[in-house]
A and B are shown apart, each in its own frame.
Chain A
Amino acid sequence: MPLSKDWQLQDALGFLRNLTSQIAIDKISTEQIIDALHLGIAEVAQLLSELKFYDYATVATLSISSDEASISSLNVMSIIKIVDATNGLCVYEKPHVFEGLKSLAIPQNLNNVSWTRHGEMIQLYKGSLGPYGVVKIHYNRYPTKATSDATYLDIKDPFMKVVLDKAKLHIYEQLGMKAPAQLEQTINNSIIQMRKAYGEELTQRRSQKNQIPSGRR
Chain B
Amino acid sequence: MPSVTYLSKTWTVDRSLGYLRNLVNQLAPDKIKTLPLIDYLNLSQLEAAQLLVNANNPDYGKYLTVKNSAAGADEVELVVDGSVVSLATADLSQDATAVKLRINNLVKIRYTKSGATKLAIEMNPVEFEGLINNYPQNKENVYWCLLGEALYIRNRITGIALESDWGDLIVYYNRYPVKLSAADSDRLGDTLDVRDGYARLVIYKAKLLIYEELQQQPPEALTGDINSMIEQIRQATNSEQGFINDYSHTQMS
Q: Could you tell me which A residues sit within 8 Å of B by CB distance? A: 1, 3, 5-7, 11, 14-15, 18-19, 21, 54-59, 80-81, 83, 85, 88-89, 138, 156-158, 160-161, 164, 180, 182-183, 186, 193, 197, 200-201, 204-205, 208-209, 212, 215-217
Contact = CB atoms under 8 A, between A and B. Distances in A.
A56 B213 contact: no
Given A15-B36, A18-B35, A19-B213, A138 B46 contact: no
23 contacts: A1-B149, A14-B36, A15-B39, A18-B34, A19-B213, A54-B146, A54-B147, A55-B148, A59-B147, A80-B147, A81-B129, A83-B129, A88-B133, A138-B147, A157-B102, A157-B176, A158-B50, A180-B212, A197-B50, A208-B122, A209-B122, A216-B141, A217-B137
B215 A180 contact: yes
- Among B36, B119, B133, chain A packs the most CB atoms within 10 A around the CB of B36
Contact of A18 (B36, B50, B125, B133): B36
B130 interface: yes
Contacts of A160: 43, 46
Nearest to B141: A216
Contact of B121 (A18, A156, A183, A212): A212
A77 B141 CA distance: 33
- Among A6, A85, A156, A200, chain B packs the most CB atoms within 10 A around the CB of A6
B148 A56 contact: yes
Nearest to A8: B179
Contacts of A208: 122
A88 B46 contact: no
A183 B209 CA distance: 10
Contacts of B138: 217
Interface string B148-187: 1110000000000000000000000000101100000000
Contacts of B93: 1
B54 A88 contact: no
B83 A85 contact: yes
A164 B148 contact: no
A85 to B, nearest CB: 7
B87 to A, nearest CB: 10
B131 to A, nearest CB: 9
Contacts of B102: 5-6, 157
Contacts of B105: 201
A211 to B, nearest CB: 10
Contacts of A164: 43
Nearest to A19: B213
Interface residues of B, number: 42
Nearest to B129: A89
Given A1-B149, A186-B212, 16 more contacts: A3-B149, A6-B178, A18-B36, A54-B147, A55-B148, A56-B148, A80-B126, A81-B125, A81-B126, A157-B46, A157-B176, A160-B46, A161-B43, A201-B54, A212-B119, A215-B137
Contacts of B215: 180
Contact of B179 (A7, A57, A193, A204): A7
Interface in B92-151: 93, 100, 102, 104-105, 119, 121-122, 125-126, 129-130, 132-133, 137-138, 140-141, 146-150
Contacts of A183: 212
A3 B54 CA distance: 20
> 7 closest A-B pairs (Cβ-Cβ)?
A57-B147, A6-B179, A89-B129, A57-B148, A161-B43, A5-B100, A197-B54
A196 to B, nearest CB: 8
